[in-house]
Amino acid sequence: MHGANLIPVTTVILGAGLTGCTLARLLAEAGEEVTVLEAEARPGGLCRSVTADGFTFDLGGSHIVFSRDLEVLAWMQEQLDANREERHRETKCWYRGAYVHYPFENGLFDLPPEDRFRCLDGFVRAVLASNLAAAEGDVTPPHDFLDWIRQTFGDGIADCYLVPYNEKIWKYPLDRMSAHWVDGRVPRPPLEDVLSAACGLQTEGYAHQAVFSYPALGGIEALVQAIAAPVRDRIRCGFRVASVRREGNGFLVSDGETTVAADRCISTIPVQALLGALVAVPVGVLDAGERLVHNSVACVFIGLRGPVPPYSWVYLAAPELGFANRISFPSNYSTGTAPPGCGSVLAECTYRPGDPPATMDDQALIDHVVDHLEEMGILRREDVIYTGCARQPYAYVVYDLDYLESIRSVRDHVEGRGIELVGRFAEFEYLNMDGCIRHALDHVRGREPCT
């Protein structure tokens, strides 16, 4: 660990995804000497993109640039500068062979009459029950995620859409998922909005993403590349962290051949991978790390001759629609994502070990998705001129009932070693892109993030 194989730096950042690149940029601007270590061949993490045969797809599922956080939104837009196009969101939920306005509770008029009544009746009953409990001072917090769905939306919306959709994306029993994370992330729809929607008066949920941006060229990776550009020479790719250990007041990080010596260590890689690189981790902490639940995602890319439906993305809740829980249309995000006269579809299939998408090879999964989209009338197989598939082992954090205890044990141990955790899978929090950037900003400024 001496001589040419020892590289001294002030701060080492593990991982060059969106969070790692943002941290490196901000710290470098503050005058700090930074080196970023990235296992893959290029930065980007879940925000990498691929271009083939004129089609551009995001490897970790479709991402868009939006945020309620106006500071972060302005910063992202500033990074993209002129490489940015703006779109109005046109999103649907597929239900019984028809497109329903998104979010589902704002599209009840699009449902068959019997389902419309069932959903509206259940929602009104849920609101009345909640108001009565509040008036009597007898509010019982939901025990789990399934309980929260039924308390908030009623049985009709739960059974018609929210339960099957969430079972499909999380691949985990909803009554074994915590409800602590959902309030504030999923808005509680106003009663008047749902009533208006059921009467055919269009209302718009999730207004903060009603208008979004997307890179004109390069896919969502263009955002990460723009952020990383001033510090690109400080990002070392092909460095897979094998060990992290404390040495005096600093840290030694090695890939087995080269060692980086740093005064400060910030990790943005999955916390399970970090635990595997540490020595003398107590059994209880290792067990807690193994209990943290996450999903993987397989993204199927489809390039088409001709147009696609005029939507941003569509949610596929019903099991009979196949393994994909969401399809998006990148060619509707910006003009540079597909060749002239062509369209594109990106299908996201989440999975856990043992699930069919985990055991199918890429071509079998592509055929499965194309077959189901053809049955839905989304595409014709004879129009398919490009296909691809990419898998991300870490895609979604799953908040099971043991989550709070497990993550507290892991964080206490890692941070007790002086290692700083920032980002989606380092903190093991379900953060969108804007949340990752906000946590990086707050970390550099020395503030505790709001999660």
Domain ranges of the chain: 3-47+68-84+214-289+402-445, 103-205, 293-398
pLDDT at 433: 98
Closest Cα to residue 64, out of 387, 337, 365?
A: 337
> Is residue 295 a contact partner of residue 171, using CB atoms and an 8 Å limit?
yes
For 192, how many CA atoms within 13 A lie in the half-sphere containing its CB? 0
Name residue 163's amino acid. Answer: V
Return the pLDDT at 450. Answer: 52
Q: What is the pTM of this model?
A: 0.94
Strand duo 326-328 + 342-351: pairing: antiparallel
Average pLDDT score, the chain: 95
Q: Does domain 293-398 have CATH number 3.90.660.20?
A: yes
301 has a pLDDT exceeding 90: yes
Report residue 3's pLDDT band, with 50, 70 and 90 as the boundaries. very low
| Percent of the chain surpassing pLDDT 90 | 91
Greatest distance between any 2 Cα atoms in the chain = 75
Residues of the chain above pLDDT 70, percent: 97
User: Which single residue is written with the structure tokens 């059921």?
Assistant: 198
Q: Residue 243's closest CA among 265, 220, 216?
A: 265
Confidence of residue 203 (pLDDT cuts 50, 70, 90): confident
Check whether 110 has a pLDDT greater than 70.
yes
Residue 1 has pLDDT above 50, yes or no: no
Tokens of 41: 């061949």
Give the pLDDT score at 139. Answer: 87
What is the arithmetic mean of pLDDT over 50-68? 97
**CATH T-level topology, domain 3-47+68-84+214-289+402-445:** FAD/NAD(P)-binding domain (3.50.50)
| pLDDT at residue 2, as a whole number | 46
Residue with token string 């789990």: 144
Contact criterion met (CB below 8 Å) for 385 and 304: yes
Overall average pLDDT of the 114-138 stretch = 95
Residue 150 has pLDDT above 60, yes or no: yes
Query: Do the strands 250-254 and 243-247 form a parallel or antiparallel pair, or are they unpaired?
Result: antiparallel
**Span 331-363, pLDDT tens digits:** 999 999 999 999 999 999 999 999 999 999 999
Determine how β-strand 91-95 pairs with β-strand 313-316: parallel
The residue-averaged pLDDT of 289-309 equals 98
Same fold flag, 3-47+68-84+214-289+402-445 and 293-398 = no
Q: In angstroms, what is the C-alpha Rg of the chain?
A: 23
Phi, psi of 248 (to 5 degrees): 65, -125
Check pLDDT > 70 for residue 205: no
Q: Has residue 391 got a pLDDT over 50?
A: yes
Torsion, Cα 328 332 336 337, to 10 degrees, reads 20
pLDDT at 210: 87
- Write out the two tokens for 298: 């397989």
CA–CA separation, 171 and 251 (whole Å): 38
**Residue partners of 184: CB distance under 8 A and separation at least 6:** none
From 125-139, 175-189, 219-233, 369-383, the region with the lowest mean pLDDT: 175-189
The upper half-sphere exposure of residue 274, i.e. CA atoms within 13 Å in the direction of its Cβ, equals 27
Residue 451, pLDDT above cutoff 60: no
